[in-house]
A and B are shown apart, each in its own frame.
Chain A
Amino acid sequence: DAGVTQSPTHLIKTRGQQVTLRCSPKSGHDTVSWYQQALGQGPQFIFQYYEEEERQRGNFPDRFSGHQFPNYSSELNVNALWLGDSALYLCASSTSRRGYGYTFGSGTRLTVV
């Protein structure tokens, strides 16, 4: 049973560009959450998608946007990239059932130069 799949694994972008990261949730999961993990820090919650809508959002600017598709997969888009956006971007999937199955992918390492 495949877990959470993220693509690409690594990415280099230039300041000011836009980037799209992709996530396929674990089989049976319907909720996708995105986190940003800067080097040497804990993950920070960006937003969560359920039923193709943004359900919760952390303290991130509007440059960060997302989408969830009918098959529950999700995209994270970041516009006007800053150097400070360089981080590991983690996707986590879960079910809408309370407390079960929160699973992280291995992440996408984004470097902004």
Chain B
Amino acid sequence: QQQVKQSPQSLIVQKGGISIINCAYENTAFDYFPWYQQFPGKGPALLIAIRPDVSEKKEGRFTISFNKSAKQFSLHIMDSQPGDSATYFCAASMENYGQNFVFGPGTRLSVLP
């Protein structure tokens, strides 16, 4: 029940295209859903996050869509650029007095020039 599933495992997109990564969770107690971006040799960096009281959040080229009833959320990267090539992790947590995340297994994104 603590698991977060993520797909696809890898994704290849042409420059300017849309990258879509999907995640699903089981634990309805989760109330915070971030997406992290990780480059080789670096720690994960927060990209964008959403709480279940909204269905969509947009920041620049990055959009999270959230479907509470289906327990699914997705990351959309518009106008994908080669610099977006990285591994993306969805995560979920319960925002009590300390966030600790359950991460998905990751999606390796390659944006071709």
State the A residues within 8 Å of B (CB).
Answer: 4, 31, 33, 40-45, 48, 50, 55-56, 58, 90, 92, 94, 96, 98-99, 102-107
Contacts and interface: CB of A to CB of B under 8 A. Distances in A.
Contacts of B42: 106-107
B97 A96 contact: yes
Question: Max chain B CB contacts within 10 Å: which of A44, A90, A104?
Answer: A104
A42 B44 CA distance: 10
B36 to A, nearest CB: 8
B96 to A, nearest CB: 9
B100 A33 contact: yes
A98 B44 CA distance: 20
A40 B103 CA distance: 12
Interface residues of chain B: helix, strand, loop or mixed (majority):
loop
Interface residues of B, number: 24
Interface of B: 4, 6, 32, 34, 36, 41-46, 89, 91, 95, 97-106
A1 to B, nearest CB: 15
A69 B106 CA distance: 33
A9 B113 CA distance: 32
A48 B46 CA distance: 19
Contacts of A45: 100-102
Given A55-B98, A92-B43, A104-B45, 7 more contacts: A4-B43, A31-B98, A40-B106, A50-B97, A98-B97, A99-B99, A104-B36
A31 B100 CA distance: 11
Nearest to A49: B98
Given A42-B105, A42-B106, A107 B43 contact: yes
